Structures are given as structure tokens and as C-alpha cells.
Amino acid sequence: MPPRATDARRAAVLGKPIAHSLSPVLHRAAYDALGLADWSYDRFEIDEAALPGFFEKLGPEWAGLSLTMPLKRAVIPLVDEISETAASVDAVNTVVFAEDGRRIGDNTDIPGMVAALREHGIEQVDSAAILGAGATASSALAALARICTGEVVAYVRSEARAAEMRRWGERLDIDVRTADWADAEQALRAPLVIATTPAGTTDALAAAVPERPTTLFDVLYEPWPTELAARWSMFGGAVVSGLDLLVHQAVLQVEQMTGRSPAPLEAMRRAGERALAAR
């Protein structure tokens, strides 16, 4: 049974650092649009060591939590069950508190990526490239496992990272080949390019954008646009942004925590855009 929307309920995002998070803006916009005047959504700077203590103090008024780095794996021992999606990448970014007291972990990043791509007309691709090999890259692989019918090439900086991406490929049952970061310019010719690296990492690749680029999914949203995304757009390529991902994964969180569906996607997007513009 979903949480009772008439009750005063609480939710929050946890992580460290957390001051930059747009999640409060998105979730509060959803509550306003849904008429959930008694619901609140906060942010707490919490690291792995403090997470169990935080959970111990949570009362029945709590509806759910959003988890960002470095807590997506640290939270797993603290929940009663996790979804198949979350288990597929050993990462939980959403915890919903059921009325019977169970704590249910899920991962909305993966379906959020798929939804963001679908919104831009990408339903299926025959191959793709991933720039990077961190936690977001594993979620990208899981998303590609749903829409990519052929090979995924991951461009990484070390053999250790390459081996990790190949292991994720085997686990997710998707064909993954790894290549050296020095050859990352080749990635830009793939039908779909997913950039999962920190700010500034792909700037040097902007000059190598082909004359007719396809689709770039850059998971960053601040600063935006990245040099790569700006150049991609200038050449007429389709660009999916980190804000697209953030909004779509937050939509799924709101639906799970409130029991209301559909969540107000456009209201949440506008709130996110205004907040970024104000920064």
C-alpha cells in the first residue's frame, strides 16, 4: 500500500557533499503540483559512517530517501529488500518506507536514463560508446542492456577500470569491449555516446566532434553545457543532459514515495531549470 498522501510526511536526499543537490527543488516542485502541502523534502550531509545512525532515528513520518554518492552501496545492508534493478548494479539511490515498516531499496537512475533517451526519440540503438568507468558508467551499461542490441565500447584510463567494465558487461549480459582513453575521439562516431565523467574531463574531445554527430547523453548538469555538449549541439547533434536524467529519475522517486502517478514531469523540469539559471 502506498504512503497516505493526506498525512504529513518527510523525505530527503542524503550524501556528501550535498549542498549542490537539485533534488529538494525537484521534489518540492512535485509536492506543490500534487497538492501535498504537508509533505517536506530536505537534504542532509551524511557519509557512510553516519548512515546507520541516521536510519536508526527515522520515525513513521518518513516516506522515503534519495541517496547520492557515496551512499548508494553503503545503504544496501540497511534495507530489508532491494529491487532487481538495484541489485543488477549493486547500487540503491531510492529507499521507500512501506506502511508495514519495510525499507525497500531501488535504483531509479537506470530507468531514468532509459526514459530520458526515449523522450529524445532513442528507443533502440545497435551500438553505443561510454566515456568513463565509474559508478554512473555501470548504470549506463544497465540502461544500455535494455535498449542496445549490439556492442558497447567503454573508453577508460586503466586496465583495472577496463576489467571492471567487462565484468559489469558479463553480469548485465551485454557485449562490452574496452578501449584506451587515448582513443576516446573514436567514441564520438558511435550511434549513441554516453559521457559519465567528471566536469572538464571531456573538454579536450570537443574539437573532435564529427560533422554529423548522432546523440550525446552527457550526465553532467552543472556546469552546462559542457564544451562537448555545446559543440555537439552546434553541429546539429541531439543532446540529452544530466538535468534530463535527474528529472526522470526524480519523477520515479516521487511516484514511489507518494503513491501518486504520474508525477508532474514538466513542473519538476521547470523548477530545475530555474534553479540552475539562478546559480
DSSP helix/strand/coil, 99: coil
Burial of 138 (0-12, 13-18, 19+ CB in 10 A): buried
d(CA 275, CA 172): 36
Place of cell 557512510: 48
DSSP helix/strand/coil, 35: coil
Contact (Cβ atoms closer than 8 angstroms) between residue 171 and residue 100: no
Angle between helices 23-34 and 242-258 in degrees, nearest 10: 50
Q: How do strand 62-67 and strand 94-97 relate by DSSP bridges?
A: antiparallel
Active site residues: 72
